[in-house]
């Protein structure tokens, strides 16, 4: 951990990382507050409202990121980041005063569109701040830890705050997070933007990042691995509550513990990635993750088919969720290294935006499989289907990214560019 934290000695990165953390905390508080707001407005239909809001989020992520990347390709990154935070803060202020479900949907789309602007832009700036490969790898691991810790700690923080205030005040915490993030970005000196080439038509610029990813074996492999990650994540996020409450007879606290096992597996790998990548190639580590995921999902189907006793079921659930968290982190944590290595300063933002958009597009397939197949057919069918999807994704990744093509293009003799 001390070696990992050494990257915070870089002042620019330290401020940007802090901006990321406070924005994540604000987003976590918003998630809890939004659920309570939906219940106030829709009552027993709150689940349908939140499910629709999740679908709107995915649509915004998939559709907005590449468009914004193309339209703002000549706008200084600081202005883009601060503007996105400002939009998110205003929307968080408006959410507590809405009284209709459709108003929630509109504001959620705008909020997630702003997030789809902020996140890939933020990610594309970091390679210019952390130039050394070792520092960049540590920065990626630290960022992964921040995401995992937020998912664990934000609900706890929200629960503590709710003992002292109404849920509407949680929105103010969200606003504070976004405002603090914007102020930190303003105080950071960011590298000068490379002037973008606008000789191509707008549609070509919108699709530039996706075309770059499809043209390079390394990034095609990453696209396939994104689908494996989405399969595991969908099963865990959508069906954990069903497994714990209906099959194992657990409580809401038990659901949180189960999700914590998934986060713990992810955090463990994130801590180890800098050391692992000093001795293991990116492809080997990521393919290990792509193999772990379908094996873990297949094991889930076996457990569901056997229906063990609650005690054995709890042990198996905990171990499998740790394994799935580790598998997804083996792919997610190093992925930005591939994006940096396979892009140039003039197309880096579009490549990061394409990865953001296309990786979330995978969830538009896996979320319905996890939810609808599980509810309409059986949980076993849902787990089995997702295991097949992850297996096909892993096979595709292994085929489109040959072992002869390393992650860094300067090491590629043939076919890496």
Quote the tokens at residue 175.
């606003």
For the CA atoms of 402, 407, 411, 413, what is the dihedral angle to 10 degrees? 30
- Tens of pLDDT, residue by residue over 65-115, are 888 888 887 888 899 999 999 999 999 999 888 888 888 889 889 998 999
Q: Is the dihedral of CA 216, 219, 223, 228 positive or negative?
A: positive
Looking at the domain 207-404, which fold is it?
Growth Hormone; Chain: A; (1.20.1250)
Q: How many Å apart are CA 142 and CA 285, to the nearest integer?
A: 18
- Does the domain at 11-186 match CATH 3.30.457.10? Answer given as no
* 222: nearest Cα among 358, 409, 412: 358
Mean pLDDT of all residues in 239-250 = 84
Number of other residues whose CB lies within 10 A of the CB of residue 237? 18
* 49: nearest Cα among 89, 116, 106: 106
Look at residue 410 and tell me whether its pLDDT is greater than 70: no
Look at residue 1 and tell me whether its pLDDT is greater than 60: no
State the pLDDT at residue 28. Answer: 79
**CA angle, 223 as apex, 220 and 362 as ends, to 5°?**
150
Share of the chain above pLDDT 90, in %: 38
DSSP 193-259: PPPP---S-HHHHHSHHHHHHHHSHHHHHHHHHHHHHHHHHHHHHHHHHHIIIIIS---HHHHHHHH
Mean pLDDT of all residues in 298-305 = 95
Task: State the helix-helix crossing angle for 282-306 and 379-400, rounded to 10 degrees.
Answer: 160
Quote the tokens at residue 283.
């492809």
Q: How many Å apart are CA 148 and CA 326, to the nearest integer?
A: 12
> Cβ(235)–Cβ(228) under 8 Å?
no
Q: How many Å apart are CA 5 and CA 20, to the nearest integer?
A: 15
Number of other residues whose CB lies within 10 A of the CB of residue 299? 17
State the pLDDT at residue 414. Answer: 36
Mean pLDDT of all residues in 287-313 = 94
Look at residue 417 and tell me whether its pLDDT is greater than 60: no
> Cβ(333)–Cβ(273) under 8 Å?
yes
pTM to 2 decimal places: 0.83
The secondary structure element, H or E, covering residue 403 is none
Residue bearing the bigger pLDDT, 205 or 14: 14
Look at residue 122 and tell me whether its pLDDT is greater than 50: yes
What are the angstrom distances between the C-alpha of 2 and each of 7, 150, 266, 279? 9, 20, 19, 19
Chain centroid to CA 186: how far? 25
What are the angstrom distances between the C-alpha of 393 and each of 221, 223, 265, 310, 375? 9, 9, 21, 32, 24
State the pLDDT at residue 326. Answer: 96
Mean pLDDT of all residues in 323-349 = 91
R_g of the chain computed on alpha carbons: 21
Helix, strand, coil share (%) of the chain residues, nearest 5: 85, 0, 15
Domain boundaries, the chain: 11-186, 207-404
Q: How many Å apart are CA 291 and CA 268, to the nearest integer?
A: 18
Most confident of 90-94, 280-284, 291-295, 307-311: 291-295
């Amino acid at each position: 951990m001390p070696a990992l934290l050494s990257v915070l000695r870089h002042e620019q990165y330290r401020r940007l990382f802090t901006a990321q953390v406070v924005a994540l905390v604000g987003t976590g508080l918003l998630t809890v507050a939004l659920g309570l707001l939906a219940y106030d407005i829709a009552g027993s239909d709150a689940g349908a409202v939140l499910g629709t809001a999740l679908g709107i989020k995915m649509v915004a992520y998939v559709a907005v990121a590449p468009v914004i990347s193309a339209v703002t390709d000549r706008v200084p990154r600081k202005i883009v980041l601060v503007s996105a935070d400002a939009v998110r803060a205003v929307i968080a202020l408006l959410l507590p005063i809405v009284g209709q479900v459709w108003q929630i949907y509109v504001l959620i789309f705008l909020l997630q569109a702003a997030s789809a602007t902020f996140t890939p832009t933020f990610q594309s700036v970091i390679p210019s701040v952390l130039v050394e490969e070792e520092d960049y790898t540590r920065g990626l691991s630290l960022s992964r830890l921040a995401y995992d810790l937020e998912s664990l700690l934000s609900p706890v923080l929200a629960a503590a705050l709710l003992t002292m205030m109404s849920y509407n005040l949680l929105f103010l915490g969200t606003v504070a997070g976004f405002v603090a993030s914007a102020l930190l970005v303003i105080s950071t000196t960011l590298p000068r933007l490379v002037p973008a080439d606008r000789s191509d038509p707008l549609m070509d610029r919108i699709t530039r990042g996706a075309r770059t990813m499809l043209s390079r074996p390394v990034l095609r492999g990453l696209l396939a691995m994104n689908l494996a990650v989405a399969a595991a994540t969908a099963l865990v996020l959508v069906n954990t509550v069903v497994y714990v409450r209906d099959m194992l007879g657990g409580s809401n606290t038990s659901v949180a513990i189960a999700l914590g096992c998934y986060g713990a597996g992810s955090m463990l790998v994130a801590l180890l990635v800098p050391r692992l990548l000093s001795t293991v190639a990116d492809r080997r580590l990521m393919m290990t993750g792509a193999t772990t995921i379908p094996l873990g999902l297949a094991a889930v189907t076996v457990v569901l088919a056997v229906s063990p006793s609650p005690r054995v079921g709890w042990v198996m659930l905990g171990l499998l969720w740790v394994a799935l968290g580790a598998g997804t982190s083996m792919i997610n944590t190093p992925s930005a290294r591939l994006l940096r290595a396979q892009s140039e300063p003039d197309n880096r933002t579009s490549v990061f935006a394409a990865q953001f958009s296309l990786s979330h597009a995978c969830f538009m397939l896996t979320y319905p499989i996890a939810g609808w197949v599980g509810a309409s057919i059986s949980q076993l069918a849902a787990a089995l289907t997702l295991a097949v999807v992850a297996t096909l994704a892993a096979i595709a990744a292994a085929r489109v990214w040959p072992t002869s093509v390393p992650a860094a293009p300067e090491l590629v003799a043939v076919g890496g560019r």
